[in-house]
Amino acid sequence: MMPLYGMRWTLLLLTSCGGCASVSVRYYTLTPIAVPAAAISLRASVPADAVSVRLPTQDSRSEMIVRHGNGELVLLDNERWASPLADQIRDAVRIELQREFNGSPAFGSEQGPIRVLIDVQRMDAELDRYTVLEATWTGELASSSPGKAGSQTCTFRSYEPIGPGYDGIVQGYQRQVQALAAAIGAEIISSLATGHGGCGAKTLAHR
pLDDT of residue 91: 94
Contact 40/104 with Cβ under 8 angstroms? no
User: Which residues sit opposite 150 in a β-bridge?
Assistant: 141
pLDDT of residue 204: 42
Domain residue limits, the chain: 50-58+85-203
Q: What residues have CB less than 8 Å from 61, skipping those under 6 apart?
A: 75, 84, 85
Q: To the nearest 5 percent, what fractions of the chain are helix, strand and coil? A: 35, 30, 35
177 falls in which pLDDT band (50, 70, 90)?
Answer: very high
Ranked by mean pLDDT, the top range of 94-98, 177-181, 182-186, 202-206 is 177-181
**Higher per-residue confidence, 99 vs 65:** 65
What's the rounded mean pLDDT across residues 45-70? Answer: 88
pLDDT in tens, 113-126: 789 999 999 999 99
Which long-range CB contacts under 8 A does 57-61 form with residues at least 24 apart? 59/85, 59/120, 59/123, 60/84, 60/85, 60/86, 61/85
pLDDT of residue 142: 67
Res 47 pLDDT > 90 = no
User: Model's pTM, two decimal places?
Assistant: 0.79
> What class, spelled out in words, does domain 50-58+85-203 have in CATH?
alpha beta
Contact 78/62 with Cβ under 8 angstroms? no
